[in-house]
Structure 1
Amino acid sequence: MVVPEIPVTRSIVAAALTGPTAATMLAVLVSVATPAGLALLLPAVAGLGPWIWGLLNRSWRFTATSDNHLLGITFGFSERRRQTVPLDRIHAAQISQPLLWRMLDWWKVDVDIAGYGEPGKGGATTAVLPVGPLDQALALAAHLGPVDRGEVDALMRPDGVPDGAGSTGGVRVYRSPASARWVSPLDRTRQGVILVGGDGDASTDRALVCHRGRWRRSVSVIDPVHVQELSHRRGPLRRMLGLSTVRFDLVPGPVRMVGRDLPAEEAVELLTRLRQRALPTGRSR
């Protein structure tokens, strides 16, 4: 059992502490306080109600088991659903925390699954931990991803790139420099990219980790072999500041990965190294 059954009370509280739920409650308060309140309430309920219900339904008595390279997921309130995912089809994992969950230190883990497309397609879920404590989220990321638990604890804490992490041994670290404060004043110290696994040949790199976000913290991990495309972006302002952004395109899903506002020369180095990564048979660089 990689995720024991999530308590019902946790699912209810987690659904209540989300932005859409807060917006719906605000609409209810406004509807009571103003003459035109009903006109504001109906669109809010019609638009956000199904989303909130879906969020609650996908975490209701959620469990996950792992056996024979398969991840088995069970969840649902109105209808119990069972979903089986081959572990080798899980390309990327992301640990994130909505702002209002911070007071309870709850986190969620989403994954990109090859062939699934966007979240919610066909009633399937891409959340392998809808809500849980950080230790549980980190343990699940280690189970599903290309890094072991020790590396997860050292490099994937969601509060930003570890201060002690440097480009030594099998780890290469790319951080936003001080000049990035002009374009990323809040996120600069939280965002960065870590490559794990190779000193020399880029084909030995086995994990790409991206940190980002101060208000909505997240950390994502993927085996570089699963990165679909790479792009290098540098607008006029960032060019003046000596900054560049490297974007990593993945299979369709909830995980987003980007190396934002890196020193221009380090962004080129990262891009060049990843272009030399090992690729699945049948794909060219």
Structure 2
Amino acid sequence: MNRLHSLSAVVYAIQYGFFWLWIPIFLLFGLATILEFVSLTWIPVVGALGFAVGVAYGIAYYYRFGYQITDDTFDVASGVIARRSREIPYGRVQNVDIKQGVFHRLFGLAIVSIETAGGGDTEASLNFVSEAEATRLQNEIRTRTAAVKQRRKQAGDHTGDETAATDDATPDSSGVVEPTETTATDSETGPLGPGAGAGDTVPDRDRPFDEPTGPKRRSLFDLEARELLLYSFTSFRPAAVAAVLFVFFLASDTIIEILLAMSQPVGGPEDLGTGTTSSYGIFTIVSFVNGLVITYLLSVAYTFATYYDFQLGRIGDDFVYERGLLQRYSGSVPVEKVQSVTATDNPAQRLIGYAGLWVETAGYGPDSNGGSQSAVPLAQHDRVYGFAENLTGVETPSFERPPPLARRRYLARYSLIAGSIVAVAFGLSMISPLERWYLAVIAFAAVPPAAHLRYVNLGYYVGEDHLVVRRGFWRRRTTIIPYYRIQTVSTRRSIFQRRLGLASVVVDTASSRTFVWAAPTIYDVSLEDGRDVNETSRKRLQSALRKRAAGEAGLSVDFT
């Protein structure tokens, strides 16, 4: 069996050393409270002993960890005391992802993660191997996985149809996929702009000449510098809020002093104990504005670093992507795992005519966002929707909106929210120096536009092969769902919807994103229309399943 990189022994030794360092120390503290002869002066001795045991365990773990590629499985053996041996069949492998942080890139290392079908966790993780070895493993496993899928496809075709072929590869007698002689010419470009469709290949570092090179990589989309900047400045990452709060709790006193100094030129208090009501108000406003600016700038930096040098390509029937500045990711999205495709945009992106595209998958990958993976972070609106149409084969949707009665419902809902804001302001005026609580009634001015914007951004389209659902204003999502991916279609009605004769239709797929976010929902249609959508979807689901069994339905990875 192959071993990990030699630096892994050092990392494991340090990791387990510090872990075992604290175990005898905690035991010593416990025993010192019970036994009089136990002294805390023993801490350096027992700490050093625990660290030494941890180092020895880490080194032993390194030497007891092994992996190898066999004809049918990828084998991993680990464990010092309790041994664990795993044989991962290539037919179950979904993703082989490579991750590199700053430390890994400095030392030429990488983490290889292998995800299997139906698994919520990573099946095997190799910490660490060299970059060349990571690339070799990724290519080799992908090649053998493609060979297994090809044999399955041929077996299915031979039962009903003797024609079986793929665009990029054919298996030889040994079952290993060999590349065909035809590759894309330099003049070919994909629908998303420069670089799409060129006959690019994945470099095979340190590969023996007699090993299979696998299917060729074809570029589909490269995120240009202008698009990266636009995406960074027009999107917001909730993680930035958590980062700001974390820093504030670590250094709250220092940050408060800085905020006081920034608010004093515009009338803020000299300190928190001697201010007036108006100076406190100015301090609050200045602090809030500064918090927003800092959070936004952190979000911009995070997005820029995450999607730097984003590239989307195709290898066989898999989408492959690379991205990241400080942490570099390289992974794949098997087309057979794609459950739905979602185009997203927010008000700022709609204003400049841009949108993004995400694919929702079944299962969690090491780098997936709750079962969702960006295929196009940001591009012009027409290019994104053209990409979605080429991928799914959906016809241009003609959206139907809910009845006007739904807008009245939103007016009532947002009026209740505005009333709650006024009530909270009044309550604060009773227990604080706040006097002009009645200014909170300005919230009612936002009710009509908010209700209208929610209403006009809702829509649905019942196509021949796809159901398209659009919803949301701050982050509008247009989800294209092939009928054969639908798991359940349910009609739901709240108490208020029953009084108005409305209903919502929930379309559930096997996407893991539905565990994090709500399933695609057609909101507030009339009860009759909701039942029609439900019944039509069920019928077309059965028809789509028959077409898929006959090989007539599925997503396309060929965009040239």
The TM-score range, normalised by the shorter chain, is 0.5 to 0.7
Map 1:134-213 to 2 at 5 A: 134-145=131-142, 165-168=195-198, 171-177=218-224, 178-182=226-230, 183=232, 184-187=303-306, 189-196=308-315, 206-213=317-324
Give the drift of 1:140.
0.6
Contact preservation (8 Å) 1:14, 1:101: no
* TM-score for the superposition, normalised by structure 2: 0.35
* TM-score for the superposition, normalised by structure 1: 0.64
1:103-142 Cα distance to aligned partner (Å, 9 max, x none) = 21110111221133224xxxxx431x32111110011111
Contact preservation (8 Å) 1:174, 1:262: no
Distance 2:305 2:7 in 1: 33
1:188–1:113 CA distance, 2 compared to 1 (3 A): closer
1:107–1:165 CA distance, 2 compared to 1 (3 A): farther
Tell me the equivalent position of 2:374. Answer: 258
Distance 2:81 2:356 in 1: 44
Distance 1:172 1:107 in 2: 23
What SS does structure 1 have at the residue aligned with 2:8? helix
Q: What is the letter of the counterpart of residue 232 of structure 1?
A: A
Instruction: Give % identity.
Output: 16
1:248–1:216 CA distance, 2 compared to 1 (3 A): same
Tell me the equivalent position of 1:154. Answer: none
Establish whether residue 267 from structure 1 lines up as the match of residue 265 from structure 2. Answer: no
Tell me the equivalent position of 1:81. Answer: 84
1:94–1:15 CA distance, 2 compared to 1 (3 A): farther
Map 1:1-285 to 2 at 5 A: 4-6=2-4, 9-13=7-11, 60=62, 61-119=64-122, 125-127=123-125, 129-145=126-142, 165-168=195-198, 171-177=218-224, 178-182=226-230, 183=232, 184-187=303-306, 189-196=308-315, 206-250=317-361, 251-256=363-368, 257-259=373-375, 260-276=377-393
Q: What is the letter of the counterpart of residue 323 of structure 2?
A: R
Structure 2: state its 5+ residue gaps: 19-54, 147-176, 180-193, 200-216, 233-302, 395-481, 485-544, 556-560
Give the drift of 1:185.
3.7
Distance 2:102 2:80 in 1: 25
RMSD over equivalenced CA pairs, Å: 3.9
What SS does structure 1 have at the residue aligned with 2:198? coil
Q: What is the letter of the counterpart of residue 194 of structure 1?
A: G
Give the drift of 1:216.
0.8
Distance 1:276 1:79 in 2: 51
Contact preservation (8 Å) 2:195, 2:221: no
1:246–1:209 CA distance, 2 compared to 1 (3 A): same
Distance 1:240 1:167 in 2: 30
Q: What is the letter of the counterpart of residue 114 of structure 2?
A: V
Distance 1:75 1:185 in 2: 37
1:68–1:167 CA distance, 2 compared to 1 (3 A): closer
1:175–1:165 CA distance, 2 compared to 1 (3 A): closer
Distance 1:65 1:92 in 2: 17
1:16-75 Cα distance to aligned partner (Å, 9 max, x none) = 69xxx9xxxxxxxxxxxxxxxxxxxxxxxxxxxxxxx9xx79x73432223342111111
1:136-177 Cα distance to aligned partner (Å, 9 max, x none) = 001111111258899xxxxxxxxxxxxx95423583421223
Tell me the equivalent position of 1:200. Answer: none
Q: What is the letter of the counterpart of residue 131 of structure 1?
A: F
1:216-257 Cα distance to aligned partner (Å, 9 max, x none) = 110112332232332221112222343322222332342423
Runs of 4+ with deviation above 3 angstroms: 14-17, 146-150, 184-189, 276-285
Q: What is the letter of the counterpart of residue 313 of structure 2?
A: I
Q: What is the letter of the counterpart of residue 252 of structure 1?
A: Y
Distance 1:172 1:269 in 2: 16
Q: What is the letter of the counterpart of residue 109 of structure 2?
A: W
What SS does structure 2 have at the residue aligned with 1:145? helix
Distance 2:336 2:13 in 1: 35
1:216–1:15 CA distance, 2 compared to 1 (3 A): farther
1:83–1:267 CA distance, 2 compared to 1 (3 A): same
1:66–1:166 CA distance, 2 compared to 1 (3 A): same
Distance 1:258 1:15 in 2: 37
Q: What is the letter of the counterpart of residue 176 of structure 1?
A: L
Greater CA radius of gyration, 1 or 2? 2
Distance 1:242 1:14 in 2: 49
Distance 2:70 2:117 in 1: 19
Distance 1:191 1:87 in 2: 28
Contact preservation (8 Å) 1:179, 1:241: no
Distance 1:88 1:109 in 2: 18
